[in-house]
Structure 1
């Protein structure tokens, strides 16, 4: 039986409650409607603040960002492309700082596969775990208070320890990308990212399209402090203008 628009949108939100990300084609097949109908539903639900549109689907609102473990199941193919696209940027690096997050973990996985004889400084246990697969990579784990939802250390000890090091590159994720710069939902992680930005010769932000035009409490850098943005879809509008005005190297994977 054909569902009404209200029932259909309720089903979409119910599906999103069980899975943190959804694809337009999958929803259309499940609800036996056209992909155009699903896109209209997703647009309406986005306007109501009930979900966020992505390229080809939807995710839960980033203002209620799930734990890093749950985020690992979101936009996997997009983040894998970002990981592959980011790797050539750091080919000349010997010391790299990597922030916490699901996208940075994908980048770390590519580093573990392809890089040799480098040192990585990180506060993320997920990043450290995937890098451990490569015995030629030295991993320096930052001290601090353990933040279970992010699987990372944070706090004054983390930032203080970072201030004793320099790196060729800092690779950082973001909860949101706005014309003012990248921002982070967790203020504690934002402080660590800011310190990494200050201690690295170049900063690389890695973030998928669901972060575009989103703002979160901790803006950890301005765009003039960022050298490279690696993403899966080119941004548009004011966000793109800000990136171009600051001469950032935009890489689309």
Structure 2
């Protein structure tokens, strides 16, 4: 019996019986008690069970909500989101990228806003599914699990058929020379498609993203209509962006 198969049997037995014994498992699976102990230790380390003396029990409160996302700089992102609310109005067709800044923004949207929203971010889609007057279209595709966004040709095909009034795009990095850049190539391609499908492009990011760059270019600054940061629009760090004709909020 393969190690993975044996550990799956252990987890199923734990689900069925709510407590398992090292001695009983060793006898049932025809392996040594030391082997079972090693299995239980590994499963414990992965958070799949709670190892106790003589066996194991289920993890208490194991079922954590996967959408309890840890968000850094929440206060700054709320400042950004509140500024961006001025760009919303009833009847818009909106595209929203992923990212925690947009997730915070989505939580601030007025509950009765009437709009159509396209997004490839699963957490944002779940948040906006609570809004009764938003027609929500989740763009399916290959899931990038760490960011919980979809990528790939399916996403690009949907975006190519949309004509949005506005897109709200998170940014990993921005600088005057390269514009918006991303760490991942596939995400950069999806964001390029968002820009092409939108009449107005709004990039939202915390001020620590200013004057930084990543390997893959999304767009030059002239493709952006507005940038929204946690800084005052008159902050000296934003002067070069204003000079290039970008509206700064």
User: TM-score, structure 2 length as denominator?
Assistant: 0.68
Partner Cα distance (1:97, 1:167) in 2: 7
1:151 — aligned with what?
A: 148
Q: Which of 215, 218, 224 is equivalent to 1:217?
A: 215
Residue aligning to 2:130: 133
SS at match of 1:167: coil
**Counterpart in the other structure of 2:173:** 176
Q: Of 78, 83, 88, which residue of structure 2 is paired with 1:80? A: 78
Q: 1:123 aligns with which of 104, 120, 125?
A: 120
2:171, 2:165 → 1: CA distance? 20
CA contact (8 A) 2:111 2:131 kept: no
Q: Deviations over 1:203-251 (max 9, x none)?
A: 00000011011101222111111001000015645x631x123211101
Partner Cα distance (1:122, 1:202) in 2: 16
The alpha carbon displacement at 1:70 in A equals 9.5
Tell me the SS of whatever aligns to 1:81. Answer: helix
- Equivalent residues in 2 for 1:61-100, closer than 5 Å: 72-91=70-89, 94-100=92-98
SS at match of 2:174: strand
- Runs of 4+ off more than 3 Å: 68-72, 234-237
1:155 Cα offset (Å): 0.8
Residue number in structure 2 paired with 1:53: none
Q: Give the 3 Å change call, closer, same or farther, for CA 236–228 of structure 1 in structure 2.
A: same
Give the deviation of 1:73 after TM superposition: 2.4
SS, match of residue 139 in structure 1: strand
Higher relative contact order (CA 8 A, sep 6+): 1
- Counterparts of 1:221 and 1:72, CA distance in 2: 28
Aligned to 2:247: 249
Q: 1:236 to 1:71 in 2, by over 3 A?
A: farther
What's the counterpart of residue 230 of structure 1? Answer: 228
What is the CA RMSD across the aligned residues, in angstroms? Answer: 2.0
- The number of residue pairs the alignment matches comes to 181
Q: Deviations over 1:77-117 (max 9, x none)?
A: 00011111101112265100000100011111122x34522
Matches within 5 A, 1:180-219: 180-219=178-217
**1: distance between equivalents of 2:90 and 2:181?**
27
Which segments of 5 or more consecutive residues in structure 2 lack a partner in the other structure? 1-65
Take 2:206 and 2:108, find their aligned partners in 1: how far apart are those partners?
Answer: 17
Q: Deviations over 1:149-188 (max 9, x none)?
A: 1101001111111101110001001111111312122221
SS of equivalent residue, structure 2 residue 181 = strand
Identify unmatched segments of 5+ residues in structure 1. 1-67
SS of 2:158 mapped into structure 1: helix
